[in-house]
Amino acid sequence: MIVVTKHSTSEEEILKLMEELQSTYPVQIQKITGSGCTVLGFIGDTSTIDMMQIQEDRRVERVMRVSEPFKKANRAFHPDDTIIEVGGRKIGGKDIAIIAGPCSVESEEQIVEVAEAVKASGATFLRGGAYKPRTSPYAFQGLEEDGLELLKIAREKTGLPIVTEIMNPHTIDKFVEDVDIIQVGARNMQNFSMLKELGQTRKPILLKRGLSSTIEEWIMAAEYIMAGGNEQVILCERGIRTFENYTRNTLDLSAICAVKKLSHLPVIVDPSHATGMKFMVEPMCMAAIAAGADGVIIEVHNNPAKALCDGAQSITPEDFERVINKMRRYTALEERQISGGR
């Protein structure tokens, strides 16, 4: 951490500031005296220091971090890729996970039919929403607990582990019991109290990037879960909010490269929510693999036009078959493979 002093600050005042900082924080401080300003460098662990508080000081012009504020998620301290294994399927390393299924679970017939179709094509996991975050209180909110039951039936019939979104800390125990990977949605990425509770579980967490979260904030949200002892976090890029509104969000594929450099955690891509347009799902899946993603999560519906939510971005099982086959050629080119069950 670097503290830059104000132009007008006297040498005496700077020495006093150094003393104060040194007595407040568990760090060593060194200084560089410039022509206009002085720079103080903090040596030691600065991850718990609140920059904003130092910024407040009347003698301080600016405070800047020179190292990342995350530890457990940091690749610098954990150079090898984290590989997460669920029900015999791996995510990370050489293994690419394909998570597929409908936006919402609607009926036993629907979820089982989709599950069987995506299983037949080679999907690694089944996704499906039981609790749905909807912008309008008047829109369909999901089948909730009944939806979880239907997902369990589909898992029973296909053997595919299930991924579904949690909306509320009240239901954590139920999710831990019923679900294979617990998804935290974009709107809850900084629901810190829920992240802390999920840190107490030992379930893999699929953590979606917030609509306007920076890459650093996203990794810090993973750090919240990991700080509690749960190190099984899968990051998921799902588009960020920008001025462009042709697509629902702007898929940030360079974020994959950034996460791979900064962290050892696996990272996957959600082209369905990112673009909101089914014709973009196929090319964005290929681009995700090319960018180095450890998987994709795709909406597949057996009758998109009748889907109770987000039909516009769902592809059919036939489309999915074509997409996964093409992805196989892309993963081979990257000397990786689609993760399958044993």
> 61-100: which residues touch its own copies (CB under 8 A)?
61-62, 64, 66-67, 69, 76
Token digits for 308?
A: 């109770």
22 counts as binding its own copies under rule CB under 8 A: no
Region 103-132 residues binding its own copies, contact defined as CB under 8 A: 131
Region 212-251 residues binding its own copies, contact defined as CB under 8 A: 212, 214-217, 220, 223-224, 227-228, 240-247, 250-251
- Whether the CA torsion 336, 163, 268, 191 is positive or negative: it is negative
- Per-residue contact flags (x/-) with its own copies for residues 310 to 329, judged by CB under 8 A: xxxxx--------------x
As measured in angstroms, the least distance from the Cβ of 17 to its own copies is 11
34 counts as binding its own copies under rule CB under 8 A: yes
211 counts as binding its own copies under rule CB under 8 A: yes
Q: Are strands 125-127 and 95-101 parallel, antiparallel or unpaired?
A: parallel
Residue with tokens 């998109």: 304
Q: How far is CA 204 from CA 84, 172, 180, 234, in A?
A: 8, 13, 7, 7
Q: Is residue 259 a contact partner of residue 267, using CB atoms and an 8 Å limit?
A: yes
Number of amino acids touching its own copies (CB under 8 A): 113
> Which residue among 143, 233, 255, 265 contacts its own copies (CB under 8 A)?
255
Q: Are strands 2-5 and 38-43 parallel, antiparallel or unpaired?
A: antiparallel
Amino acid at 89: R
Residue 258 CA to residue 197 CA, distance in Å, equals 27
23 counts as binding its own copies under rule CB under 8 A: no
As measured in angstroms, the least distance from the Cβ of 157 to its own copies is 27
At residue 28, what are phi and psi to the nearest 5 degrees? -95, 145
Q: Pick the stretch among 27-35, 94-102, 116-124, 155-163 that binds its own copies (CB under 8 A).
A: 27-35
